[in-house]
Structure 1
């Protein structure tokens, strides 16, 4: 009887071992660590979670409009480590003061808005206008909403009522009223530019 019981225990141990081994092999075979499959999963994150045509929004704070944003095409990526919105066909941003008077406008042909950093990267034929009518033209402009500043290290052309200033690099407040060109290359009267 003792030998029968011992034999049954051995069979159960062996069957348990085989079953455990089968489960481990099955689990290993089903888990995929192939580089091409990992890349496919990473590419899923590159697919926009939201795509909109003719997008328009008003950004408010305490019931007051801060910004009015329009774009013909918006792609939103919120499944990535650094969530962002892409404006592949550019856009138009209007900023307002506390009594809904337009402070500035910015137009561009391409933009990215990094959500966490609250940083806009505006590119390609960027044109900004402040409330005094001063026009800023460049190929790339950064707008840091947290720091409330606008800047670039690219070529910049500023057109005022009576002169045109060109140079490289710009530092300005976000309303573009207080600005400085880092390296001025030319200052021309408007009449000189026309000739």
Structure 2
């Protein structure tokens, strides 16, 4: 009689231990090596290509590395190793050369963000330098909220805020400092009254003036811009 009782007790204890062992087992899942939103959809190297809009070439991109990531919010193109751009008009004439150390293009917003050693050289000889610049393709304007320097063929301007049209023919700089050509004060195109204008008045005039120049024949292409020091 004792044997069946002992057998039943042992069987019950084994069942309890097996149940406890099963209860203590947990599934361990390793975390993802990279978050989903950090994975690029496409990465290209050694890029030299034209970007078109409605069949019209807008600009040429030259870059060592081009990453497209639509998982980020907002989605964007990333140029973490620098980029060189040639900007064209509707007739495929070069309007400007643009380069920087880092760039992001928010494709859904049609907005460029250029960072670190941003340099622009236009067909009219205007040079621009800053550490940050935004290019809004929808509004057809450029702007910067950091210190910027603008050099035209006859004057130099610098300030803490910059805004311009895409062609950089109409521009505004606030909190400006500048140097001007001697002709601005001694018998320029506006006659004797030109010499009586104050520096601040001339800066204001310069910020809204639209300079007309003949279209220059672009010279073939050097992928570097003469940088300003």
TM-score, with length taken from structure 1: 0.73
1:162 corresponds in structure 2 to 154
Deviation at 1:187, TM superposition (A): 2.5
- Larger deviation, residues 123-132 vs 61-70: 61-70
1:75 corresponds in structure 2 to 67
Cα deviation 1:112-148 (Å, max 9, x = unaligned): 1111111111011100122211000000000011111
Question: Within 5 Å, which residues of 2 pair with 1:130-169?
Answer: 130-169=122-161
Which of 88, 108, 114 aligns to 2:80? It is 88
Contact 1:130 1:177 in 2 (8 A): no
* RMSD (CA atoms): 2.2
Question: Aligned partners of 2:159 and 2:170: how far apart in 1?
Answer: 16
2:108 aligned counterpart, secondary structure: coil
Question: Aligned partners of 2:48 and 2:70: how far apart in 1?
Answer: 19
Deviation at 1:99, TM superposition (A): 1.2
Deviation at 1:62, TM superposition (A): 4.0
Contact 2:52 2:59 in 1 (8 A): yes
Deviation at 1:171, TM superposition (A): 0.5
Question: Aligned partners of 2:169 and 2:103: how far apart in 1?
Answer: 22
Question: Aligned partners of 1:165 and 1:102: how far apart in 2?
Answer: 24
Deviation at 1:66, TM superposition (A): 1.4
Which of 97, 103, 106 aligns to 2:89? It is 97
Question: Aligned partners of 2:157 and 2:179: how far apart in 1?
Answer: 4
- Rg bigger for which structure? 2
Contact 1:164 1:189 in 2 (8 A): no
How many residue pairs end up in the alignment? 157
TM-score, with length taken from structure 2: 0.62
Question: Aligned partners of 2:105 and 2:171: how far apart in 1?
Answer: 22
1:4 corresponds in structure 2 to none
Cα deviation 1:69-91 (Å, max 9, x = unaligned): 11111111112332111101110
Question: Aligned partners of 1:77 and 1:61: how far apart in 2?
Answer: 20
1:20 corresponds in structure 2 to none
Structure 1: gaps (5+ residues): 1-28, 191-195
